[in-house]
A = this chain, B = another copy of it.
């Protein structure tokens, strides 16, 4: 799902500034999407051009905050794009790519790789756990729990088989 669609969804309940939208995406939706400013502002510009969104500068000065608000057309557009959404999902993993070719790597590099993935996975789990689950909708909570389930599985795996492979490779190489 492209960023502009996500923006519409975020604007549904309340008008927001670009900056706020970015923060919301990278925290509340951070387990399956993210947004850089270089992508966000052009996306908002395109939404405004197609009249899915309207904006105005807050205050009287020429510069400063710009508040984006979704239009009736925007709500319609969003619903259509949402209904078209397939159940698609994609994992891209530098970690797995590196492990796939780990015969080319030293044991130290392999250990470092697993440690780093484990560290980040735990970090991300903490961030998910820190979200205000109680104030979220059923669907939003489901996305968090789904992500959490996968993270936990990955952590368990890395702690078990991930560690085991290090000794296995060590045996193979130095025997």
Q: Which residues of B contact A86 (CB under 8 A)?
A: 94-95, 116
Name the residue of chain B whose CB is nearest to the CB of A78: B104
Min CB–CB distance A86 → chain B (angstroms):
6
Complex Cα spacing A98 to B150, Å: 18
How many copies of the shown chain assemble into the complex?
A: 2
Tell me whether A87 and B94 are in contact in the complex, defined as CB-CB below 8 angstroms, given that A138-B165, A139-B99, A169-B138 are known contacts. Answer: yes
Contact B79 A88 (CB under 8 A): no
Chain A facing B: main interface SS: helix
Min CB–CB distance A128 → chain B (angstroms):
12
Most chain B C-beta atoms within 10 Å of own C-beta, residue among A29, A78, A94:
A94
Contact B101 A33 (CB under 8 A): no
Min CB–CB distance A119 → chain B (angstroms):
8
Most chain B C-beta atoms within 10 Å of own C-beta, residue among A1, A96, A143:
A96
Q: Which residues of B contact A113 (CB under 8 A)?
A: 85, 87
CB-contacts of A97-144 with B (<8 A): 97-105, 109-110, 113-117, 119-120, 137-140, 142-143
Complex Cα spacing A116 to B102, Å: 34
Give 11 CB contacts A-B under 8 Å. A1-B94, A1-B97, A29-B100, A82-B104, A85-B97, A86-B94, A87-B114, A87-B119, A88-B120, A138-B172, A149-B157
